[in-house]
Amino acid sequence: MSRASVYTALKYALRVQGLPFHHFEDEACTIAFESWEQFAPFDRFLDSISTPDDIKLCIYAERVGGRSDGVAVTVSDEVQHLGYMTSRLDMPHKLESYERLLSSLLRRGIEPLDYDYETFTVDLRPEDDCAISLPHYISLWKYPSGQEVQTIHLEFAT
């Protein structure tokens, strides 16, 4: 679950439920209300639905539409971090193992070309020694620039 998907769902819910709002700020993932009174139906709606633990909304006073008693609701950046940490079984252990792998490569003087925390992969030059003790497989391919790459894929059971 991403910050953008939570924001999109909230916008959709406002429209479907016919709830009042002033405007949306898509880049900031924020919904603005002219007043606390205009915000109240949305607040009641939020109270009526069950929400996952990894959603954090920031609700604060803000000048909206020329009024000083406006309200803004922003989906927190933390939703991605929290969602990531609960996206797979035993994620803290998997993340710790992945970071140990990156650390061990760097200590051996091997500088990864790229790495991805979501897929637990590391791109290395073909000549780099990638002997590791974690369950893994290696794929060989080329970057669009033509540079050959070996990608280490950690095999975590879910």
**Average pLDDT, integer, range 116-127:** 86
Residue 76 has pLDDT above 90, yes or no: no
- Segment 52-69, tens digit of pLDDT: 666 788 898 999 988 888
**Average pLDDT, integer, range 32-54:** 87
Q: Which two tokens stand for residue 152?
A: 């280490």
In the chain, count H helices and then E strands: 4, 8
Share of the chain above pLDDT 70, in %: 89
**Domain residue extents for the chain:** 3-84, 88-154
Residue 136 has pLDDT above 50, yes or no: yes
- Segment 3-33, tens digit of pLDDT: 778 888 899 989 999 999 999 998 888 999 9
Q: Which amino acid is at 5?
A: S
Q: Which amino acid is at 66?
A: G
CA distance 38 to 35: 5
Helix (H) or strand (E) run with residue 91 in it: helix 91-107
Confidence of residue 118 (pLDDT cuts 50, 70, 90): confident
Positive/negative CA dihedral, 117, 94, 112, 106: positive
Q: In terms of C-beta density within 10 A (0-12 exposed, 13-18 middle, 19 or more buried), how is residue 120 classed?
A: buried
Confidence of residue 37 (pLDDT cuts 50, 70, 90): very high
